Structure 1
């Protein structure tokens, strides 16, 4: 308001937002410095790769960390010697030959520089060897990064679909660990001999790290790992690494990695699908399928082209022979099943529900090969495609269309028979991923309780006319014989003090459950509720392992974003409640 206000020149103010794409007014943007701390897909892949390697072959990650620190320290030492020498040269008032301290510094700098240069080259060689050994775990880290960025975009469908990076890291870590050593999916179990120090490191990490993560769901995996002390004797030599890796055959590693990737994919799908409303279930399954297929096909295509290029370079022959080989490679590349950019653009285009020349012309502009198939089906005298009750099955089993990829079949159905697109997509997902990726919600509330923790609330997302109170009462009785440990509070005006009193008592008692019903009716209390839940993770506070906080709400913009990202979200509809009550 054009009023001069005196302020300290050391004054600074920082604003932090958890929104992915916050909107600020232009007048604000020109006055502040915006810093983007959001993680990239490639950056997350590197983080997850370090987490996998630290779990499977911890000595590799320890060595890599020490190498990076040593190389950085050596570069800093060189820079310090250079700065000290320049400072002496610029501030010297005597003749340079009379400055014995300068000559001594230059001598030490030269000796140290040679030592650091030799050590730096040796460390670079060791780093290449370590990175080469870590590459076998890239597929698991890449799948994890892919899944996170897929579910991170679900908030565009509904504001309640929020998932934090910390939650995903904990879930990822739980998928690559198994407390039962007989069922542990780990490369280390494939080796007959383990270094005792490695076993000690793993036991210490499994006990301290997992217990701290379970007790504090806000704690980031990467933050905890940085506190680990690095055994010095694991960082100076590489003979343990070579002998350790050699005991694992490539076939064993590939099979185990496939199992871990599949378990990670289904676990993420299961936890996320629990929170999705019915209209978004099939969409998420389809996006998951196509995203994985596009990434897998791109990786296979890249590996194939790299191999083919090496073959061309190794082959000896004239230009004509190399051109023939290149043409052959291009033909094989075209046959690789891959969801191309044009195919995805065509699928995402809002095509009309009726067949007309404009639609077919649009298809011809993007995909001429698909246009010819559509024309063949349209001008077929028997019209078998349009008479068939299952067009997806018709296209996939007809010999004339055997060269079509599964996604191209979906495209043709969307163009010519859009009324059967949804059942065709269900068939496509079941064929590519399995029928378990078409689930419509949780089967048993016990599964939800098993995946929950005392610090993270269980958020029940309600549809119109849904009341899960009877279900929770029934589950409480089945769990402990009575529902006396469950406090049910229906939120509304004036219920805030009662909630705080009940929560305060529950934190001092054993095994209490609290159910706050209809949080969307108490928007003014939500900021205070966020503070109360944040206190669950305060240092020194030990919650009872059986304590649980249940929150029910309809989709509402006033519900705290932090609680949505922290909690375990579950969609509740009347049919699920009725099914559970009738079966029990």
Structure 2
């Protein structure tokens, strides 16, 4: 009887082992394909590793001070040089993908760093370069990100407590007291380090880092400063701003799609981490198990979970790719809105060259952009909605800016607006704009038209009246009759942008009040002989009466 029982137990154990062995073989068989592909991928990565690291190191060391176009040119030049010297590198190398993961980029975005490629590259240099960063940051975007990312501290406290420090708005020269810190001239004292700050020796604890920012748009730093710091150009470029504005448009217009994409990316990232942990556990068990593999139930369970997770990750990656494609298509559809926003902002910035008092912050402009998105007419047709946003945004920014300009500069601003929009639409060419700017003093023909008291109103001879549009006629007037340029410029503005742009703006205090709040005061800069006191008092009385009426 006992022999029969022992025989049954042996048979049951044998069946269990065979079942486990089958499950193990099937599980490992499924992993074989993936592991073979991963192994081939790792081998390719190893082959390209030297070149990829070299390009990344070059980018971190040298690309910071330059704009996006020059950074791309540098990378292309380096790649060409490496090809000539037979140094292998990944042909589709993306320094962003190599140096930072999506989770970190998402964290930076939540901390206030714009999501365009230039800003992400800047974030990489700031966080990964060996030297302390010096940010050229006239719009203040880099400083805002760092303030959200780190806490402000005193220099000596930051050193001794191991905390980050932000030095804001420095000039072209840095205080010599920073020299030892920037050069990292640390003195080893036992297991800790000290640094000389002025006439004191201060402990340097792990966690200390230094950030420096300047509002200067084009500072001329000495070679010593450039060598001691990682200079990073955070200045907003037209392409970079366009990408930022495009992101804001999509968040508002396609909010549900963007939210779905964010959720999917979060899930995919989480599953990838879980997948990595399971693979590490699986490999550890395969290499360190002391008993029989077929008796290791936990190993079989890990195999099962790994396989299931791999399928889930694969499915979610596929869905995320489809959603990403939809979002990219939607983004490009709304790009004209972002393009117009970029044109408007940089035109406003350029007006400071006319008069230094014409200053507009990027944050102020982004507020105008967002409010224009919300207030412009809605439409089910995407093309109509885009047209509505562009029209409303352009006129709102025009009114907002023109009322803050001296009267003599309003026509200049409006004409530049018309020219820049026409240039972007390729309705006019850059050489034609230069012709308008420089004029042409030669007047060999058309003397009768030239002698007319208002040549802009007279028909052009030799059939040119029908051949030339309003802008080309403006070029003719500018070249032959410069004293009549202003009148023809108003006609061109009306024809190009609309009659409302050619008419004078009347100060509307009610509209100004609607744009202000408790943190945005209205400031009147008075010219000789102007006194808006009566209008302000009337506005105040009307608002008090309306509030009293609402309360009763």
- The answer for the alignment partner of 2:470 in structure 1 is 406
- The answer for the alignment partner of 1:148 in structure 2 is 345
Query: What's the CA shift string for 1:407-452, capped at 9, x where partnerless?
Result: 3332233222222222221111011112321344433333322322
Note the residue ranges of structure 2 that are not aligned, 5 or more in a row.
Answer: 1-175, 181-195
3-state SS, counterpart of residue 14 of structure 1? strand
Taking the aligned partners of 1:66 and 1:469, their CA distance within structure 2 comes to: 54
Indicate how the Cα distance of structure 1 residues 63 and 93 shifts in structure 2: closer, same or farther if over 3 A, else same. closer
Indicate how the Cα distance of structure 1 residues 424 and 84 shifts in structure 2: closer, same or farther if over 3 A, else same. farther
Deviation at 1:14, TM superposition (A): 2.6
Query: What's the CA shift string for 1:439-497, capped at 9, x where partnerless?
Result: 4443333332232212112122233565555554455456548xxxxxxxxxxxxxxxx
Aligned with residue 168 of structure 1, among 365, 369, 376: 365
Taking the aligned partners of 1:398 and 1:480, their CA distance within structure 2 comes to: 64
Deviation at 1:73, TM superposition (A): 4.3
Deviation at 1:289, TM superposition (A): 0.8
Taking the aligned partners of 2:325 and 2:335, their CA distance within structure 1 comes to: 15
3-state SS, counterpart of residue 48 of structure 1? helix
Aligned with residue 392 of structure 2, among 258, 263, 269: 263
Cα RMSD after superposing both structures: 4.0
- The answer for the alignment partner of 1:283 in structure 2 is 412
Aligned with residue 517 of structure 2, among 453, 465, 468: 453
3-state SS, counterpart of residue 34 of structure 1? strand
Given that 1:45 and 1:141 are in contact with CA atoms closer than 8 Å, whether structure 2 keeps it comes out as: yes
Deviation at 1:275, TM superposition (A): 0.6
Query: What's the CA shift string for 1:353-372, capped at 9, x where partnerless?
Result: x43xxxxxxxxxxxxxxxxx
Deviation at 1:271, TM superposition (A): 0.6
- The answer for the alignment partner of 2:490 in structure 1 is 426
Given that 2:245 and 2:341 are in contact with CA atoms closer than 8 Å, whether structure 1 keeps it comes out as: yes
3-state SS, counterpart of residue 525 of structure 2? strand
- The answer for the alignment partner of 1:126 in structure 2 is 323
3-state SS, counterpart of residue 13 of structure 1? strand
Indicate how the Cα distance of structure 1 residues 132 and 278 shifts in structure 2: closer, same or farther if over 3 A, else same. same
User: Is residue 2:238 matched to residue 1:41?
Assistant: yes
Given that 2:402 and 2:410 are in contact with CA atoms closer than 8 Å, whether structure 1 keeps it comes out as: yes
Given that 1:46 and 1:141 are in contact with CA atoms closer than 8 Å, whether structure 2 keeps it comes out as: yes
Given that 2:439 and 2:479 are in contact with CA atoms closer than 8 Å, whether structure 1 keeps it comes out as: yes
Taking the aligned partners of 1:138 and 1:96, their CA distance within structure 2 comes to: 62
Aligned with residue 341 of structure 1, among 423, 430, 438: 430
Higher relative contact order (CA 8 A, sep 6+): 1
Given that 1:56 and 1:186 are in contact with CA atoms closer than 8 Å, whether structure 2 keeps it comes out as: no
Note the residue ranges of structure 1 that are not aligned, 5 or more in a row.
Answer: 179-183, 188-247, 298-337, 356-376, 482-509, 512-584
Query: What's the CA shift string for 1:132-161, capped at 9, x where partnerless?
Result: 345443333332233223223322222322
Query: What's the CA shift string for 1:296-348, capped at 9, x where partnerless?
Result: 33xxxxxxxxxxxxxxxxxxxxxxxxxxxxxxxxxxxxxxxx32232234334
Please say which of residues 76-85 and 459-468 is displaced more in the overlay. 76-85
Given that 2:238 and 2:342 are in contact with CA atoms closer than 8 Å, whether structure 1 keeps it comes out as: yes
- The answer for the alignment partner of 1:379 in structure 2 is 445
With normalisation by structure 2, the TM-score equals 0.53
Given that 1:185 and 1:256 are in contact with CA atoms closer than 8 Å, whether structure 2 keeps it comes out as: yes
Indicate how the Cα distance of structure 1 residues 139 and 351 shifts in structure 2: closer, same or farther if over 3 A, else same. closer
3-state SS, counterpart of residue 162 of structure 1? coil
Indicate how the Cα distance of structure 1 residues 404 and 77 shifts in structure 2: closer, same or farther if over 3 A, else same. farther
Deviation at 1:30, TM superposition (A): 3.1
Given that 2:378 and 2:385 are in contact with CA atoms closer than 8 Å, whether structure 1 keeps it comes out as: yes
3-state SS, counterpart of residue 460 of structure 1? coil
Query: What's the CA shift string for 1:237-280, capped at 9, x where partnerless?
Result: xxxxxxxxxxx4xxx44334323321111111001111111222
User: Is residue 2:184 matched to residue 1:8?
Assistant: no
Indicate how the Cα distance of structure 1 residues 464 and 26 shifts in structure 2: closer, same or farther if over 3 A, else same. farther
Deviation at 1:85, TM superposition (A): 7.7
Given that 1:293 and 1:339 are in contact with CA atoms closer than 8 Å, whether structure 2 keeps it comes out as: yes
Taking the aligned partners of 1:450 and 1:424, their CA distance within structure 2 comes to: 35
Deviation at 1:125, TM superposition (A): 2.1
3-state SS, counterpart of residue 177 of structure 1? helix
Given that 1:50 and 1:61 are in contact with CA atoms closer than 8 Å, whether structure 2 keeps it comes out as: no
Given that 2:250 and 2:330 are in contact with CA atoms closer than 8 Å, whether structure 1 keeps it comes out as: no
Given that 2:264 and 2:316 are in contact with CA atoms closer than 8 Å, whether structure 1 keeps it comes out as: no
Counterpart mapping for 1:20-99 below 5 A:
20-73=217-270
Indicate how the Cα distance of structure 1 residues 285 and 474 shifts in structure 2: closer, same or farther if over 3 A, else same. same
Taking the aligned partners of 1:448 and 1:379, their CA distance within structure 2 comes to: 51
Given that 1:294 and 1:339 are in contact with CA atoms closer than 8 Å, whether structure 2 keeps it comes out as: yes
Deviation at 1:56, TM superposition (A): 3.9
3-state SS, counterpart of residue 161 of structure 1? coil
Given that 1:396 and 1:406 are in contact with CA atoms closer than 8 Å, whether structure 2 keeps it comes out as: no
3-state SS, counterpart of residue 35 of structure 1? strand
Please say which of residues 118-127 and 260-269 is displaced more in the overlay. 118-127
Given that 1:273 and 1:281 are in contact with CA atoms closer than 8 Å, whether structure 2 keeps it comes out as: yes
Taking the aligned partners of 1:84 and 1:9, their CA distance within structure 2 comes to: 39
Deviation at 1:79, TM superposition (A): 5.8
Indicate how the Cα distance of structure 1 residues 112 and 437 shifts in structure 2: closer, same or farther if over 3 A, else same. same
